[in-house]
Structure 1
Amino acid sequence: MKLTKILTTKLTSFWLLSLTAVGAIFFIGALVSFVQLTYKFQQQKVTQLETMLVQHYQPDSHWDLHAWLPPILIAYNANSFKLTQGDDIVFEYYSPTPQNNPTIYKHIIDPKADTAMELKLPQPYLLHQLGWYELLIMLVSLVAIGLFVRYGLRWFTHELDGVEQIAQRSKLVLDGKHAEALSAAGNGRPRLINRAMTKLLEQLQDAQKERGRFDQFIRSKTFLDPSTRIGNRIFFENRLEALTHHNCMIAHGAVMLINFDDLDLLQQQEGDEVINEQLNDLVQAISTLLQPYEDVVFARYDFNQFAIVVPQASLAEADTLANKLLKLGISQLKNQSDTQDNYVHLGAAFYKAGDMQEQVLEEVDMALKAAQLQRTNNWFMYDKGAVDKEIAKGSVRWRSFLENTLVNRRFVAITENVIDSDGHACHKEVFSRAIDNQGNEIRATLFIPMANKCGLMPQIERQLIETVLFELMAHNKDSFSINLSYDSLTSRAFIRWLRTTLMEQRHLASRLIFEVSEDIVVKHQQDLMENLNLLRKIGARLCVDHVGLQVVGTHYIQECHFDLVKLHRSIIHQIHLKSENQLFIRSLIGGLYRAEVQVFAEGVSRFEDWQTLKILGVSAAQGDYFNQ
């Protein structure tokens, strides 16, 4: 754009200079013509005087010259006149007010008589004075020329401004800002190119939306149940893997399995439409019941089974929820057969951090069988009686612990390298740990849910960012990615502090990457747009992580101008064996190819997974495989 501006300025200057040169040439030409014309007129007068002398001069009578010649010389404004015959002066005249630098004319009138004349006349152009009429004509002409030049300059500038608008739109297109280029249609010239660009951008926008809908279609066909539109078994397994690390549960919670006996027979009796309508009502009621719980997984595990995972739930909360779910199942899915008192069963298993995933699934299956053996609509909780000490902490104790940790600045940062396909470190992701009074580390998966409930996430993330800016970045040149929660992104005080800090440390802003969970962005996109754009304008990059957990379209990635996309570990786990996950990644990368958005992966633990990801087009990854 700077080059285009320079070129248009030079073109305008050249136009003005050319116009000025043409005007100057015309003016000089007119002046020369005027001077030449006056000399020609004066030459004609001299010739006429010479003719009169030849016709009326009588050598014997000098009186005749004194009678008629002086008035003519006075009329000519002559400085002097001398008529000689040989060495004798026949007639001589001198003006009482001679002028400087006269024009001298010497002519031989009669060669036989050796008669010659010498006439001195003033410069001819000095004898012509411009009157008011000529001055008025010149003034009108100059005004007309000025108006035409002004109009021409405005027209020329306007036309070139249209070219600059086309250049501006072209730069926006090259920068990937297609929405801004489409909204900046303006009056670009040539208009045919401007209209063509607008049409192509509209078609591109429609194509991007269609691609996002296609991606969502692929994900829905892969991970959603077609009847109830909730997650299917693959979705449930992926989400359950997201709650594990090395196949062990990260934190405590409860898994529930609701079974509807003889659902297939009931469907044959009542018809597909009736049963599907009842199932949809049941799904909607259960979804409403699960809204107060965070990160709940709700999926159709089998044709007649629904699975629910409630992370961070206590035993009391799990018992209460199981009772409500059983009542909902009985009331929503009506059974008029003889088995109406024995067709809904719920099995639940309470797990703690460190339990194996397969073990938890076996326990919930055993709990479901125990509920079915009671031969009545009932539920059964499989509980080993072992509850983590961390779980026993109530909300009050957690708040006291977190506030004390904040005051003593015992939130520490640990980093993990993100490695590209060439084996080089792209940046480091920052994770937080809390140090208790005994010096033990508390996992983020334990204190973050409690910090969210207590509203302390902005303070914790502020302390973490300060650690990164003033300790980690001060000792090396690496880039760092930091996770931001919804509470922090919507906190005015936190955003005001972050903006002031990044403006003061502007040279460090370009080395920061702020990560936001896909679930947060999808649910609160309009609320987060302003603050996300603020961080991007300051110079930081944006990343959306946990991509793949939700079955949503990908249009939000370009609307929010994310620079990086990070796939969740549940999509990555054993990717070389899961064709449906590979299809999702291919579709995602294909849709983001033109947007210049890099796709990363987290939780890579095997060589086969990393090789498959590189083949699919993933740019970089992190996980245990790179930390070994």
Structure 2
Amino acid sequence: MELTRLLTIRLSRFWLLSLMLTLAVGIVFAAMAYSQLTYRFQQHNIAAIEQAFSRHVLRQDMDDANLWLPDLLKATDTLQARVWNGQELVYEYTSAEQAELPRVIDIQLPQQPNLRVQLLMPQPLWRYLPNRYEVGVLLLGLLCFVVITRRGYLWYREQLVGLESIGERCHLILKGRFEQARGRYSNGHPRFINRAISLLLDELVEAKKDRARFDTFIRSNTFLDHETHIGNRLFFDSRLDALSSHSGMMSHGVLMLLEFDELDQLHSELGDHGIKEYLTLNVEHMRRLLQSQANSVFARRSYSQFAILVTQISLAEAEQLASRLVKLCASLAPPDSKANQSLCHLGCAYFKLGDEQQQLIEEAEMALRAAQMQGNNNWFMYDKGAVDEEFARGSVRWRTFLEMALTDKRFVAFAQPVIDVDGIVQQREIFTRAREPNGNLVRATLFLPMAIKCGLIAPIEQLIVEKVIQQLLVASHGDEQFSVNLSFETLMNNDFFRWLKRIMLEHRDLMPRLSVEVDEAFACRELAALSPRLQSIKMMGARIAVDHVGQELVSTQYIVEAGFNIVKLHRSLVKQIHLRPENQLYIRSLLGSLPLAEISVVAEGVELLEEWQTLKILGVGAAQGALFSEPVAVE
């Protein structure tokens, strides 16, 4: 807005300069007119003297000139007069007044060529200067002019300040910063324009809220089960696809299929309303039970079957979870029902890195049938021998491993580029892997959940952030940008955040090249706690990004409220998107609810050219994934 303010100042100065120039021109013309008036008045006096001499010369009464000439000369302000007849001085008059640089006037009488009159008269302008009264009136008029001009200037400046405020608001609107423009209301003139803009911005905010609710409704109807308000089969399949690649599952965990075998009988006993309340009650209790599992997916696969997918969970924890789920569902059975003893069964299939997705589903279905064959309310785990021992040991080994890795700084940074539609690298996202003593690398999906449980996540991520800022940003050429992922536990750690602010202040010039990513699951649920810390990061110059967007069925309003600069779509939305119209509808609705002028949208996990082409058609501006490059070590 410096240009608008500069134009306002220049316009005000031009107005004042024009007014002063007009005054100066008026004063010059007035002085010239006054000078001409005094000159003509003196010329009129000279003409009167010449006429008097002509009359007396014709009557031959120059001998008595002392009788009539002094009064005439005094009346015409003559300082000195001399009458020459040839070379003879016949008359001389001298006034008592004196003047500097008097004016000499020679009069030649045509009746008497030998007779010549010489007059000394004061300069007309200085002779007729204004007196004190006239000067006072002139100064009073000039003072009135200055006061009126001052008041006019203040009024004019006030009007321009109002226009400047309107210009700032319009500039913000053109840049898409509607909330800032809405908060810039002023009482400047013209006020009706300000009120009109404010009214339109208020209606725009309401329209955007309605649009956000509508987009949420669209996305919810795409992936939401209307009866239980959890994910449907499409939602579950997309999340399962996101956890797998061409080489199999990308993490370890457990898949559970929970079947309510006597749901039809319960429906006949309870009716439509009763069965809906029963399912809602079971879903709510199961969701509470799964809240302790940060990486869980809960969805309804069919009328009577529910699917639960939990990653980064040990075998012992999976068995405990399965037992608690079956006991929970059995305890919620209607007391008078005949199907209480064989109401629900649970089949579990534990998977590890590289397992096939279709095989996993088949194993879970086989485990469910085995649980149903056992009768009563029961659960069954398929093929326990397929589980690696390290997943069944618990957290003691992990704590020892992570503490030793921290001491020896055996955490390796990997970078994956983010490519825009022009093929240019926008930034590089940093991933972390831990190096074992034998040289093998452990993925973050394996050790991060255990690091959170052991309370070691903050020092691990601090080590990575320090490496990115002090090594990668300093050593990188040009304007290369990097992004790092920070967990909710790390950001809420006071010691870590104080250290983060200190190191960001020390390298303030590098912060525009750094982005901090947080997971959507925490960004939408813990926005009130996260927002102050995210804003502090933005104030330091860094950008903030929200990761895994679309994994949660929530409104996108939190993205605008938190002021995120980058939105990263979850890989479950991206995988096979060219074959999934429901995912395309979801992304199109998501993009429509975001101010794309301020927010960059990035797709994660792009593996096929068809996926990237479809994303570009939908309006996604950048992507990362195996199609462009796998993560590369940056040691």
TM-score exceeds 0.5? yes
1:624 is aligned to 626
Amino acid at match of 1:284: E
Q: In the aligned structure 2, how far is the partner of 1:167 from the partner of 1:398?
A: 60
Q: Secondary structure at the match of 1:33?
A: helix
Tell me the CA shift for residue 415 of structure 1.
1.5
Map Cα deviations across residues 345-398 of structure 1 (whole Å, 9 max, x no partner).
233333344433333333332232222223322333335145434335544543
Q: In the aligned structure 2, how far is the partner of 1:615 from the partner of 1:128?
A: 88
2:633 is aligned to none
Are 2:460 and 1:425 equivalent residues in the alignment? no
2:44 is aligned to 44
Q: 1:613 aligns with which of 599, 612, 615?
A: 615
Q: Secondary structure at the match of 1:549?
A: coil
1:375 is aligned to 375
Q: Is residue 255–residue 349 contact of structure 1 (8 Å, CA) maintained in 2?
A: yes
Amino acid at match of 1:304: S
Q: Matches of residues 316-355 of structure 1 in structure 2 within 5 Å?
A: 316-334=316-334, 336-355=336-355
Q: In the aligned structure 2, how far is the partner of 1:537 from the partner of 1:514?
A: 13
Q: Matches of residues 337-416 of structure 1 in structure 2 within 5 Å?
A: 337-392=337-392, 394-416=394-416
2:12 is aligned to 12
Q: In the aligned structure 2, how far is the partner of 1:604 from the partner of 1:419?
A: 11
CA gap of 1:299–1:2, structure 2 versus 1, over 3 A, is same
Tell me the CA shift for residue 225 of structure 1.
0.8
Which is further off, 129-138 or 431-440?
129-138
1:583 is aligned to 585
Map Cα deviations across residues 297-356 of structure 1 (whole Å, 9 max, x no partner).
222222112222233333443343333322322332416343222222233333344433
Q: Secondary structure at the match of 1:83?
A: strand
Amino acid at match of 1:584: Y
Q: Is residue 353–residue 388 contact of structure 1 (8 Å, CA) maintained in 2?
A: no
Q: In the aligned structure 1, how far is the partner of 2:47 from the partner of 2:615?
A: 105
Map Cα deviations across residues 126-152 of structure 1 (whole Å, 9 max, x no partner).
234544433332232222111111112
1:547 is aligned to 549
Q: Secondary structure at the match of 1:363?
A: helix
Amino acid at match of 1:26: G
Amino acid at match of 2:622: A
Q: Is residue 418–residue 429 contact of structure 1 (8 Å, CA) maintained in 2?
A: yes
Q: In the aligned structure 2, how far is the partner of 1:71 from the partner of 1:615?
A: 107
Tell me the CA shift for residue 180 of structure 1.
0.7
Amino acid at match of 2:590: L
Q: In the aligned structure 1, how far is the partner of 2:10 from the partner of 2:343?
A: 85
Map Cα deviations across residues 76-133 of structure 1 (whole Å, 9 max, x no partner).
5533111234544331023456423212333345715854422211113323454443
Q: Is residue 296–residue 309 contact of structure 1 (8 Å, CA) maintained in 2?
A: yes
Tell me the CA shift for residue 3 of structure 1.
3.0
Amino acid at match of 2:8: T
Q: Is residue 367–residue 382 contact of structure 1 (8 Å, CA) maintained in 2?
A: yes
Q: In the aligned structure 2, how far is the partner of 1:320 from the partner of 1:552?
A: 30
CA gap of 1:576–1:306, structure 2 versus 1, over 3 A, is same
Q: In the aligned structure 1, how far is the partner of 2:100 from the partner of 2:600?
A: 87
Q: In the aligned structure 2, how far is the partner of 1:140 from the partner of 1:49?
A: 39
Q: Secondary structure at the match of 2:301?
A: strand
CA gap of 1:131–1:601, structure 2 versus 1, over 3 A, is same
Q: In the aligned structure 1, how far is the partner of 2:135 from the partner of 2:453?
A: 89
Q: Secondary structure at the match of 1:428?
A: strand
CA gap of 1:113–1:545, structure 2 versus 1, over 3 A, is closer
Amino acid at match of 1:18: S
Amino acid at match of 1:263: L
Amino acid at match of 2:585: L
Q: Is residue 81–residue 118 contact of structure 2 (8 Å, CA) maintained in 1?
A: yes
Q: In the aligned structure 2, how far is the partner of 1:391 from the partner of 1:217?
A: 40
2:117 is aligned to 117
Q: Is residue 326–residue 378 contact of structure 1 (8 Å, CA) maintained in 2?
A: yes
Q: Is residue 279–residue 333 contact of structure 1 (8 Å, CA) maintained in 2?
A: no
Q: 2:514 aligns with which of 512, 515, 522?
A: 512
Which is further off, 587-596 or 319-328?
587-596
Map Cα deviations across residues 443-464 of structure 1 (whole Å, 9 max, x no partner).
1011111222334333322321
Q: Matches of residues 150-161 of structure 1 in structure 2 within 5 Å?
A: 150-161=150-161
1:568 is aligned to 570
Q: Is residue 405–residue 434 contact of structure 2 (8 Å, CA) maintained in 1?
A: yes
CA gap of 1:526–1:174, structure 2 versus 1, over 3 A, is farther
CA gap of 1:422–1:38, structure 2 versus 1, over 3 A, is closer
Map Cα deviations across residues 399-439 of structure 1 (whole Å, 9 max, x no partner).
44333322322211012233344544333221111123333
Amino acid at match of 2:557: H
Tell me the CA shift for residue 540 of structure 1.
3.3
2:531 is aligned to 529
Q: In the aligned structure 2, how far is the partner of 1:492 from the partner of 1:271?
A: 53
Q: In the aligned structure 1, how far is the partner of 2:297 from the partner of 2:247?
A: 18
Q: Secondary structure at the match of 2:340?
A: coil
Q: Is residue 502–residue 509 contact of structure 1 (8 Å, CA) maintained in 2?
A: yes
Q: In the aligned structure 2, how far is the partner of 1:46 from the partner of 1:211?
A: 93
Q: Secondary structure at the match of 2:342?
A: coil
1:444 is aligned to 444
2:201 is aligned to 201
Tell me the CA shift for residue 270 of structure 1.
2.1
Q: In the aligned structure 1, how far is the partner of 2:74 from the partner of 2:399?
A: 118
CA gap of 1:256–1:120, structure 2 versus 1, over 3 A, is same
CA gap of 1:66–1:479, structure 2 versus 1, over 3 A, is same
Count of matched residue pairs: 628
Q: Is residue 402–residue 451 contact of structure 1 (8 Å, CA) maintained in 2?
A: yes
Q: Secondary structure at the match of 1:302?
A: coil
Q: In the aligned structure 1, how far is the partner of 2:529 from the partner of 2:222?
A: 30
Which is further off, 362-371 or 44-53?
44-53
Q: Secondary structure at the match of 1:267?
A: helix
Tell me the CA shift for residue 277 of structure 1.
1.6
2:561 is aligned to 559
CA gap of 1:335–1:626, structure 2 versus 1, over 3 A, is farther
Q: In the aligned structure 2, how far is the partner of 1:60 from the partner of 1:426?
A: 114
Map Cα deviations across residues 10-59 of structure 1 (whole Å, 9 max, x no partner).
22222122111111111112222222222233333334444555667797
Q: In the aligned structure 1, how far is the partner of 2:113 from the partner of 2:569?
A: 120
CA gap of 1:530–1:176, structure 2 versus 1, over 3 A, is farther
2:235 is aligned to 235
Q: 1:487 aligns with which of 467, 486, 489?
A: 489
Tell me the CA shift for residue 496 of structure 1.
4.2
Q: In the aligned structure 2, how far is the partner of 1:612 from the partner of 1:544?
A: 22
Which is further off, 501-510 or 577-586?
501-510
CA gap of 1:484–1:68, structure 2 versus 1, over 3 A, is same
Q: Is residue 165–residue 187 contact of structure 1 (8 Å, CA) maintained in 2?
A: no
CA gap of 1:242–1:335, structure 2 versus 1, over 3 A, is farther
CA gap of 1:138–1:98, structure 2 versus 1, over 3 A, is closer
Q: Is residue 57–residue 111 contact of structure 2 (8 Å, CA) maintained in 1?
A: no
Q: Matches of residues 148-187 of structure 1 in structure 2 within 5 Å?
A: 148-187=148-187
CA gap of 1:615–1:15, structure 2 versus 1, over 3 A, is closer
Which is further off, 350-359 or 514-523?
350-359
Amino acid at match of 2:133: Y
**Which blocks of at least 5 consecutive residues in structure 1 are unaligned?**
none
Q: In the aligned structure 1, how far is the partner of 2:135 from the partner of 2:505?
A: 64
Q: Secondary structure at the match of 1:341?
A: helix
TM-score (norm 2): 0.89
Map Cα deviations across residues 580-617 of structure 1 (whole Å, 9 max, x no partner).
11221222234447535443222223344334334434
Q: In the aligned structure 1, how far is the partner of 2:18 from the partner of 2:608?
A: 72
1:215 is aligned to 215
